[in-house]
Amino acid sequence: MKLIMTAATLSLAFGAFALPVSAADEHKMYGPSEIKWSPGPGSIPKGAEFVVLYGDPTKDGPFALRLKLPKDYMIPPHSHPKPEVLTVLSGNFQIGMGDTADKSKVKPLQAGGFFAFPPGMTHFAYTDEETVVQLNTTGPWALNYVDPKDDPRQKSQ
């Protein structure tokens, strides 16, 4: 059984962090020193940091967010109900396909690497150094783990 992140759960996962902009904003510019990282959302394993640069992942419409993932980080197999459009900004993001996380079957993407996955495509990720990625897509955003035991939101209950 896959877990689906509802709008209420999304609010809990992302709502604890101040969103710097709303989707109605037309003009935003940030220099690297102006980006304020927060502890990662509750939907991914602890250790990550994130910032929403534009929009609101809990609402319908476009958004942009960045994730800073530490060395030796792993996101277990999961999928999303919306397309995932991701650019690697720094580090080495290792992405694999399928319901089982098999590090021998990943494709490493260095800074400048890009991928776009359709809704429902099951995948997993590893890092072997601190890595920053940027996600540009539409909300409401959700993350559905293949194995409910991998969902960090279940571990805190």
- pLDDT, tens digit, for every residue of 96-116? 999 999 999 999 999 999 999
29 assigned to some structural domain: no
1: in domain: no
Q: Is the peptide bond before 152 cis (omega within 30 degrees of 0)?
A: no
* Among 12-26, 43-57, 67-81, the least confident range: 12-26
Residue 155 falls inside a structural domain: no
> What is the span of the domain harbouring residue 105?
7-18+36-147
Does a structural domain hold residue 94? yes
Does 30 fall in a domain?
no
Domains held by the chain: number: 1
pLDDT digits (tens, 9 = 90+) for 27-46: 788 888 899 999 999 999 99
- Which of 26, 21, 88 is CA-nearest to residue 56? 21
**83 pLDDT above the threshold of 50:** yes
User: What is the CATH number for 125?
Assistant: 2.60.120.10
Residue 81 belongs to some domain of the structure: yes
Other C-beta atoms lying within 10 Å of the C-beta of residue 26: 6
Q: 84 has which bridge partners?
A: 117
Distance in angstroms (rounded) separating the CA atoms of residues 50 and 57: 12
Q: What number is the average pLDDT over the span 120-139?
A: 97
